[in-house]
Amino acid sequence: MEIPRIEIPQIQIKEIFIPKTRTWEQYPTTLDIIDKPKIDYPVVNIPSFEPLDYNPDKFIPTDPVKQPEQKQQTVPQEPEYKLPVKKDKEFFIKCPNETNIPVGSYPNEQKLQVVVSHKLSPDGKVCYEILKDSTFIEKWIPSPPILVSTSIIAVTAASSPLIANLLKNLIKSAIKKISKSGKNEKK
DSSP per position, 84-116: PPPPS--SS--SS-TTSPPTT--SSTT--EEEE
Its sign, for the CA torsion 6, 8, 9, 10, is negative
* pLDDT of res. 153: 92
Q: How does residue 152 score in pLDDT terms, banded at 50, 70 and 90?
A: very high
Tell me the whole-structure pTM to 2 decimals: 0.32
Res 150 pLDDT > 70 = yes
Write out pLDDT tens, residues 22-59.
766 666 555 555 666 666 555 556 667 777 777 878 87
> Within 27-143, where are the H helices?
136-140
Asked if residues 131 and 106 have their Cβ atoms less than 8 Å apart, the reply is: no
Q: What is the dihedral of CA 122, 128, 132, 134, to 10 degrees?
A: -170
Distance in angstroms (rounded) separating the CA atoms of residues 95 and 40: 111
pLDDT tens per residue across span 86-132: 666 656 778 888 888 888 888 888 888 889 999 988 887 888 899 99
Among 26-35, 96-105, 141-150, 163-172, where is mean pLDDT lowest?
26-35
What is the C-alpha to C-alpha distance for residues 186 and 167, in angstroms, rounded to an integer? Answer: 29
What is the C-alpha separation between 102 and 130, in angstroms, rounded?
11
CA–CA dist 44, 21 (Å, integer): 10
